[in-house]
């Protein structure tokens, strides 16, 4: 892929202007440069970004180009930086930015410069999803509030199912031909949209999601400006480690990583006994500093009798999203003398990746024996270890 980024800095900031702010938000000073440059500084750290197109308001593109040139020299940017003039609507500004992309550009990130805190790991997750075959990918986070549709008379018309709702963010990633086609059709049909993913949806194409970041806020209201004057949320790395053991015996059919294993082996367990997913859940809880799986799902609670371990992992992932954890990698090891797992490894990896909502390239699955030693070597049981790495927003940054 040849990936460029379109950084939108063409907004008028009408809500902030109405509150008395004279400077457009994208030009507010932050960390020694205009706010729009913060996103460029983040993206330039992503090795696969090949260049930038900055989109400035009409009448300000010439000054914007001079500013970009000065900032690029100051920060020793080695990537090309082009400038386009914005239009009356956001989609017009994106259209003008697309027109500036070089012919060899295959994929593009479209980002609102008013979201200055999007992280490099978030961008990497979008690129990984495109590597996995998606032509349109956006970051999304679960909605915390109950959302209702309101009728014209102000009464509640419908309560929407919160579990199905997501708040969408930028940057949004697209294959260039798809986004160009979406823009052309929407212009032809005079469709107005609020983001580029909506355009792709409008022409009947699918849009994938990756977990967004709670700290990836958009500077919109006067209250949001506090994020620029106080310590901004900075994601920090975290590591969690998990370990689990189950003995063989008549109870539950053997399942590893959510995949049923052929044969007669069974494990003794209160839940479905998936040793790998139990270790994974503990590793996720380790990243969060939230104890272990036994604290959250006690093995003497009838509610968890024979429950699928994937459900338990999903419950932990809900906590992870609320705590603003972005999973970057999972390294998993199964330790057993029997069964042989080489033919299952890819299926286990793909299933765990789907469960974590990450690209399979960010999940590694290994299987080993203990050469006849210990209880696993004597075929009395099975164990697994899991290591999960992630990036997490400081506590309270999501508020």
Percent of the chain topping pLDDT 70: 91
In order of their start, the domains of the chain are 3-229 (3.90.550.10), 236-392 (3.30.1330.50)
DSSP class of residue 123 equals H
Reported as a pLDDT band with limits 50, 70 and 90, residue 169 is very high
- pLDDT at residue 395 in the model: 54
| Range in 71-80, 231-240, 245-254 with the lowest mean pLDDT | 231-240
Contact (CB, 8 A) for 355 and 290: no
Is the model more confident about 11 or about 56? 56
- pLDDT at residue 223 in the model: 67
Report the candidate in 130, 139, 211, 113 with the shortest Cα–Cα distance to residue 176.
130
Q: Got the DSSP string for 217-272?
A: ----SGGGGHHHHSPPP--EEEEEEEEEEEEEEEEEE-EETTEE--SS-EE--SS-
Helices 275-288 and 309-322 sit at what angle, rounded to 10 degrees? 10
Residue 330, pLDDT > 70, answer yes
309: alpha, beta or left? (left if phi > 0; alpha if psi -120 to 50):
alpha
Q: What is the mean pLDDT of residues 194-211?
A: 93
Residue 99, pLDDT > 90, answer yes
Residue 114, pLDDT > 80, answer yes
Report the candidate in 389, 285, 392 with the shortest Cα–Cα distance to residue 332.
389
- pLDDT at residue 12 in the model: 66
How far is 229 from 285, CA to CA, in rounded Å?
33
Reported as a pLDDT band with limits 50, 70 and 90, residue 320 is confident
Residue 396, pLDDT > 50, answer no
Reported as a pLDDT band with limits 50, 70 and 90, residue 219 is confident
- pLDDT at residue 230 in the model: 53
How far is 253 from 273, CA to CA, in rounded Å?
8
- pLDDT at residue 229 in the model: 66
Average confidence score pLDDT of the chain: 88
For residue 251, report the phi and psi dihedrals to the nearest 5 degrees: -165, -70
- The C-alpha angle 34, 114, 32, rounded to 5 degrees, equals 20
Tokens at residue 9, please?
A: 């800095």
| Range in 4-13, 34-43, 82-91, 224-233 with the lowest mean pLDDT | 224-233
Residue 167 Cα distances to 45, 75, 370, angstroms: 26, 33, 47
- pLDDT at residue 238 in the model: 93
Model pLDDT for residues 9-28, shown as the tens digit of each residue: 987 655 555 555 556 777 78
Reported as a pLDDT band with limits 50, 70 and 90, residue 399 is very low
Residue 233, pLDDT > 60, answer no
Residue 205, pLDDT > 80, answer yes
- pLDDT at residue 359 in the model: 81
- pLDDT at residue 14 in the model: 55
Q: Which residues contact 376 (CB under 8 A, 6 or more apart)?
A: 335, 336, 337, 369, 370, 382, 383
Reported as a pLDDT band with limits 50, 70 and 90, residue 280 is very high
Q: Which residues contact 365 (CB under 8 A, 6 or more apart)?
A: 257, 332, 333, 334, 345, 348, 349, 352
Model pLDDT for residues 294-312, shown as the tens digit of each residue: 889 888 888 888 899 999 9
Reported as a pLDDT band with limits 50, 70 and 90, residue 398 is very low
| Range in 108-117, 137-146, 342-351 with the lowest mean pLDDT | 137-146
Reported as a pLDDT band with limits 50, 70 and 90, residue 397 is very low
How far is 281 from 353, CA to CA, in rounded Å?
13
| Range in 100-114, 209-223, 236-250, 259-273 with the lowest mean pLDDT | 209-223
pTM for the full predicted model: 0.61
Reported as a pLDDT band with limits 50, 70 and 90, residue 240 is very high
């Amino acid at each position: 892929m040849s990936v460029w980024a379109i950084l939108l800095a063409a907004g008028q900031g009408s809500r902030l202007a109405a509150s008395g702010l004279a400077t457009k938000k994208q030009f507010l000073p932050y960390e020694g440069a205009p706010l729009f440059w913060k996103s460029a500084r983040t993206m330039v750290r992503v090795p696969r970004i090949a260049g930038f197109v900055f989109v400035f308001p009409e009448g300000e593109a010439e000054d914007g180009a001079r500013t970009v040139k000065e900032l690029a020299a100051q920060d020793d940017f080695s990537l090309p930086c082009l400038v386009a003039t914005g239009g009356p609507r956001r989609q017009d500004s994106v259209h003008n930015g697309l027109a500036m992309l070089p012919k060899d550009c295959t994929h593009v990130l479209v980002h609102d410069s008013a979201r200055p805190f999007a992280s490099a790991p978030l961008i990497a997750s979008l690129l990984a999803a495109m590597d996995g075959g998606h032509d349109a990918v956006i970051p999304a986070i679960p909605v915390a509030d109950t959302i209702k549709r309101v009728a014209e008379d102000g009464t509640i018309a419908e309560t929407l199912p919160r579990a199905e709702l997501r708040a969408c963010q930028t940057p949004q990633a697209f294959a260039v031909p798809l986004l160009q086609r979406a823009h052309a059709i929407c212009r032809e049909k005079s469709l107005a949209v609020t983001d580029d993913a909506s355009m792709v949806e409008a022409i009947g194409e699918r849009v994938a999601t990756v977990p967004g970041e709670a700290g990836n806020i958009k500077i919109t209201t006067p209250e949001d400006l506090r994020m620029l004057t106080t310590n901004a949320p900075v994601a920090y790395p975290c590591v969690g480690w998990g370990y689990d053991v189950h003995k063989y015996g008549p109870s539950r059919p053997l399942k590893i990583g959510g995949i049923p294993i052929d044969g007669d082996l069974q494990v003794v367990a209160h839940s479905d006994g998936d040793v790998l997913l139990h270790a994974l859940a503990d590793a996720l809880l380790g990243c969060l500093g939230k104890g272990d799986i036994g604290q959250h799902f006690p093995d003497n609670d009838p509610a968890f009798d024979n429950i699928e371990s994937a459900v338990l992992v999903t419950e932990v992932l809900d906590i992870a999203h609320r705590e603003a954890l972005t999973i970057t990698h999972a390294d998993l090891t199964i330790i057993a003398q029997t069964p042989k797992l080489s033919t299952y490894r890819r299926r286990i990896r793909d299933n765990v990746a789907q469960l974590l909502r990450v690209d399979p390239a960010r999940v590694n699955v290994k299987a080993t024996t203990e050469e006849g030693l210990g209880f696993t070597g004597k075929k009395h049981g099975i164990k697994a270890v899991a290591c999960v790495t992630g990036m997490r927003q400081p506590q309270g940054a999501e508020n």
